[in-house]
Structure 1
Amino acid sequence: MRIPLIAGNWKMNKTVTDAIELVNEIKDVANNTDVEVVVCTPFISLVGVSEILKDSNVKLGAQNMHWEESGAYTGEISPTMLKDIGVDYVIIGHSERRQYFNETDETVNKKIKSAFIHGLNPIVCVGETLEQRESGIQREIVKNQILKGIDGVEEKYLKNIVIAYEPIWAIGTGKTASSEDANEMIGYIRNIIKEKYGEEISEEIRIQYGGSVKPNNVTEIMNQVEIDGALVGGASLKADDFRKLVDF
């Protein structure tokens, strides 16, 4: 049985002081639940938040990483640095990274492989733009992102990949794909994995929905049979909202 995963992506929000205050308010949200909970803070807050979460069931995630262990990559953070401070998950290939920072399927692939080598669990983001959906090529786009992203990843790691389907047109816009549309695409993604790697792996991989998930729609989204969790942006920045998401 797949355990639902609710992950908060704080993006470029919260000072270190703010982050510590917020995580102190939410660190007990996973104590009495069958849901796995992750908070993905800005790099600057990871160390402080890690200390607070040591005695909590809430897992720590980063929002990005470089694929190399070290080197002349000014401004980058390596997987070894993340692992050393207790990071469990790392978001890879978020649409904002692809759009603003030239992330490609090839760099996503390198990062996924490096994450597993260093004991980190990747949350791999895929999704189409509104133009692509209106052109009817959303399935082709998502399929290419998945197959190129996980190409060459050892099968022993595949079950630990988390895929986050995030229709780009529904991120930060207030728009949300209908729960039925999200469920259909996530079912399609699971079928891609099944065709490529077999039913056993496809049934183990968790696939989240990401795109303006809020307390008022999370129950409907999570009641869909194929959806295994949510990658949450703005609603993860308020303790009360995040608690409601976890308690869907």
Structure 2
Amino acid sequence: MTDTAVIAAGPLWVGTSWKMNKCLDEARSYARALADYVGQTGPSGVQPFIIPSFTALAATRAELGADSPVLLGAQNAHWEDEGAWTGEVSVAQVKDAGAQLVEIGHSERREHFGETVDTTRLKVAAVLAHGLVPLLCIGESAEVKRGGGSSRFILEQASGAIDGLTADELARVLIAYEPIWAIGESGRAATVEELREPFADLGREYGGHIRGLLYGGSVNLDNAEDLLGIDHVTGLFIGRAAWQLPGYLRLLEMAAAHPKAAG
């Protein structure tokens, strides 16, 4: 990677993962109202995406419509297309259910389900092979942060998953930096100053080469505008602040009004 490229101005990515929340009725209601709001074009300069549970993928796609400007994501997928992998789903299967994007390597997957740098690499390759968008999540623990190793840690997570991709493949990858100490109900919202250095390092390494560089971690209505203003940040990956539709719509509006949004 070059040291000088900067991520070009373009759509701001604003999305949310529902994690293990929402049954079918809730998912349909959210998606139906979101579809009504975004219409056929979506908010100017913003690329919305939502990531429901596997059970709600097809129903959410049906409510959004085939031509929706809202991208639909899956929270995980196996790297093999088929086989004796009980309890897993393949990229081909989530694509068949309507997914266009796959979340890979979230810290909860790494901590509780054994996700490693090696498996994230396999999953990124599988997602790209099926023509979908990989959303690679990276982030360090509070212990790593206290030791001053944040940038090295997240750069190693990223490079382990995407080094060796062609330029065209890399240009389809999204990276979401989500420091573990800042996510979840017990997370502490990061300050802008705390995020400048890791994004500067990520920007130097991947700026101008990847599709987008997102921030996720205690994003809310109070800090979203400031987070979008950080150099190299081209989107937000939001948790509970967007689980209810009014919150998500307000965040979409804030992003559309931000100077970084392409008109």
Q: Normalised by the size of structure 1, how large is the TM-score?
A: 0.93
Aligned equivalent of 2:243:
237
Contact persistence 1:183–1:227 (CA under 8 A): no
Aligned-pair CA distance for 1:179: 2.0
Give, in whole Å, the separation in 2 of the partners of 1:174 and 1:106. Answer: 27
Aligned equivalent of 2:261:
none
Contact persistence 1:29–1:246 (CA under 8 A): no
1:163 corresponds to 2:167: no
Give, in whole Å, the separation in 1 of the partners of 2:102 and 2:223. Answer: 25
1:3 maps to amino acid: P
1:62 corresponds to 2:70: no
Identity %: 34
Aligned-pair CA distance for 1:210: 0.5
Aligned equivalent of 2:218:
212
Runs of 4+ in 1 over 4 A off after TM superposition: none
Give, in whole Å, the separation in 2 of the partners of 1:51 and 1:226. Answer: 34
Aligned-pair CA distance for 1:75: 0.7
Aligned-pair CA distance for 1:29: 4.3
Give, in whole Å, the separation in 1 of the partners of 2:49 and 2:43. Answer: 15
Q: How does 1:191-202 map to 2 (within 5 A)?
A: 191-193=204-206, 200-201=208-209
Unaligned runs of 5+ in 2: 1-8, 255-263
Aligned-pair CA distance for 1:79: 0.8
Give, in whole Å, the separation in 1 of the partners of 2:69 and 2:182. Answer: 30
1:39 corresponds to 2:45: no
Contact persistence 2:181–2:187 (CA under 8 A): no
Per-residue CA distance 1:173-206 (angstroms, 9 max, x = gap): 2411112322331221121236xxxxx42xx531
Aligned-pair CA distance for 1:86: 2.2
Give, in whole Å, the separation in 2 of the partners of 1:207 and 1:142. Answer: 13
Q: Which has the higher contact order (CA 8 A, sep 6+)?
A: 2
Aligned equivalent of 2:109:
97
User: What is the aligned counterpart of 1:85 among 88, 97, 102?
Assistant: 97
Give, in whole Å, the separation in 2 of the partners of 1:189 and 1:122. Answer: 17
User: What is the aligned counterpart of 1:50 among 48, 61, 82?
Assistant: 61
Per-residue CA distance 1:8-39 (angstroms, 9 max, x = gap): 11000011111111112222444232100000
User: What is the aligned counterpart of 1:21 among 1, 20, 29?
Assistant: 29
Contact persistence 1:28–1:56 (CA under 8 A): no
Equivalenced residues, count: 241
Aligned equivalent of 1:197:
none
Aligned equivalent of 2:195:
182
